[in-house]
Structure 1
Amino acid sequence: MTGQNMYLELENKDNVECIKGEVYLSDDISDAFPNKYPHKSEATVTCICIKGEITAEINQFPVRAKAPGLLVLLPGQIRELTNVSDDFQGEFIIMTRQFTESISLPEGFSTFMSVRSTPFLPLGERALEAILNHHKMLVGVLRNKDEGLNRKAIVKHLTIALFYGLGYYLHKVNNKKKTRNEIIMEDFLKLVLKYCKQERSLSFYADRLYITTKYLSVAVKNVSGKTAGQWLDDYIILEAKSLIKTTDMTIQQISDELNFPSQSFFGKFFKREVGMSPKQYRDTE
């Protein structure tokens, strides 16, 4: 499902409060994860986990979100929901890129930087209560249809307050000093996210990290157990799966988008990694 279609569906649901094209509040997890396969989204999603737990993969990393806690998904991340407990209960704030860009938080806002490496934040009961009270204020504003009320401005300021509050909690749990290898791993994956469609040579990434290809490979393997080459291939496959399932692009167009020399080369690479052809993957439910 494309982003635009997702927002149109949300606007027609009885359980959703929203400012169209900006921000949506829901208590249904399928609104936050509209596809059951890996997909890239431009939405920022905050999930307030009240009861139970969910597991997901975000940019290849497994994440377990167990209540009470807060899960944050950022634009451009490839996400896949893998399991939801029967007793799961949560509240979701879904923000379009247009909305988050209009907030004008500082470039490189530290909370976003922390969330990329720590998407789930366990909360104590008092912290959960504070965030739920904040959520109730958002619901109240969105339900108020008074034309004299500048709902968008109020929601913007409440959202800014939420992110700064989140930054406070993240600072408390993220004070462990990272090793040199962990920093290399983190910086490598940032580069992979940015350039994997164009560059598949490890030397390209090593050069930008000012280290040798061998040093990069050893550092990444020591931290993650996977080689740098495996991470690169996995990200390309994630991009391919997302494009195959969530766009109307032809296989040739996807091959070109991912900078493969030919559709045949792309098809062989995809089948080797996934076990089926791109067309077969598109036809799977």
Structure 2
Amino acid sequence: MKEKSRTINPFSMDSINPEELLPQQGRVTANDEAVLVIDGHIQHSRFLEEGKIYQIVEPRLVFVMEGHADLCINLQDWHLEKGMLMVLPADTIVDIKKISEETRVVAIIFRKGVELPEESVLTVSPTEADRLLRMIYLVWDFMQVPPVRRTVLRHLLQALVDNVQYIRDTAEKAAADSIPMRMQETFRKFRRLVHRHCVRERSIPFYAGELNMTPHYLSSVIKKASGRSVMYWVNRATVQEAKILLETGGLTGCEIAYRLHFPSASAFSKFFRREVGTTPRKYREECG
């Protein structure tokens, strides 16, 4: 039986007529600065479908108003529920696993001039959610005013991003109260390095060298900061890379082993089975 594979689909508003969103997406407004969707029904959109993988072209914020969804964002699995906010910079990879029928979102897509920090998923308090939505509704109002007040609108969009950054910084500070700031920063740098290099580098000495630490000290810091070992994070990232190749590339086991710099297909298969609990072939068949 021929195995199915999935492709990574670029998701850009430049290829979508906003009017096509209206039947399924509640209220939509768009101009050269941004696209704003209120009460969007993602599960009814032909532009975002379960079981597909997308690469975000324009940065965007997505706030869950109702329902729940299971997504994989840049190789990390997330279960989203009401009150959670996704921060999705350009080039973020999103694998849509499942979206509940009742899911509703507010989304703002930035077309130019606005950059988002690295991807994150935040649980927003009811008070902060109310402030966030009031800012978004203010943006909506100014997007309706003819002619477009571009300077005002750009300042409002940047203020919205700054407010999200504040929410994120506050959440990180609360989570890190019992952990020294320097240790948290080291953990963030380590995660970025793993995301960038896990395809080629899977040894503690490599990451320790990149961070100017001894392997023993790095292991100690990561354990204290995350409760997990260095190799847990390295293997986790490697597995997610392998899953994407198994699901999208149509590559053989030998080709995937080569892409991920394993010495052989059997070494890759042994690693994958140890980490996932099934063989690469069985995983691909289940995905197909």
Bigger drift between 224-233 and 127-136 goes to: 127-136
Q: Which residue of 1 aligns with 2:117?
A: 112
Tell me the alpha carbon deviations over residues 98-133 of structure 1, each in whole angstroms, 9 at most, x when there is no partner: x4xx4264xxxxx615x64x6443341531431440
The within-5 A match list for 1:165-244 is: 165-176=163-174, 178-179=179-180, 180-244=182-246
Q: 1:41 aligns with which of 47, 52, 55?
A: 55
TM-score between both structures, scaled by the size of structure 2: 0.68
* TM-superposed deviation, 1:205: 0.2
Matched AA of 1:213: P
**Aligned 1:1-285 pairs, distance under 5 A:** 1-4=7-10, 13=21, 14-15=23-24, 27-30=40-43, 34-36=49-51, 41-43=55-57, 44-54=59-69, 58=73, 65-75=80-90, 87-94=102-109, 99=111, 102-103=112-113, 105=115, 112=117, 116=120, 119-124=122-127, 126-134=130-138, 136-137=140-141, 140=144, 159-176=157-174, 178-179=179-180, 180-283=182-285, 284-285=287-288
Q: Which amino acid aligns with 2:133?
A: E
Match of 2:3 in 1: none
SS of the counterpart of 1:226?
coil
How many aligned positions are there? 266
* Residue-by-residue CA offset, 1:135-175 (whole Å, 9 max, x unaligned): 6348758xx9xxxx789999866643431232344455444
Structure with higher helix content? 1
Decide whether aligned partners of structure 1 residues 181 and 40 sit closer, same or farther in structure 2, where only a CA change above 3 A counts. Answer: farther
Question: RMSD of the TM alignment (CA)?
Answer: 4.2
Q: 2 CA distance for matches of 1:92 and 1:24?
A: 8
8 Å contact from structure 2 (residues 142, 148) kept in 1: no
Q: Secondary structure at the match of 1:4?
A: strand
Q: What secondary structure is seen at the aligned counterpart in 1 of 2:158?
A: helix
* CA–CA separation in structure 2 for the residues paired with 1:104 and 1:128: 17
Q: Aligned with 2:124: secondary structure? A: strand
Give the aligned partner of residue 108 of structure 1: none
Change (3 A) 1:3 1:245: same
Displacement, 1:204? 0.5
SS of the residue aligned with 1:71?
strand
The DSSP-based 3-state class of the residue aligned with 1:3 is strand
Compute the displacement of 1:18 (Å): 8.0
Amino acid at match of 1:196: C
Q: Percent identity?
A: 24
- Aligned letter for 1:92? A
- Point out where structure 1 has 5 or more consecutive residues left out of the alignment: 106-110
Q: CA deviation at 1:8?
A: 9.3
One-letter code aligned to 1:122: S
TM-score with structure 1 length normalisation? 0.69
How far did 1:216 drift?
1.7
Task: Give 1:282 deviation, angstroms.
Answer: 2.6
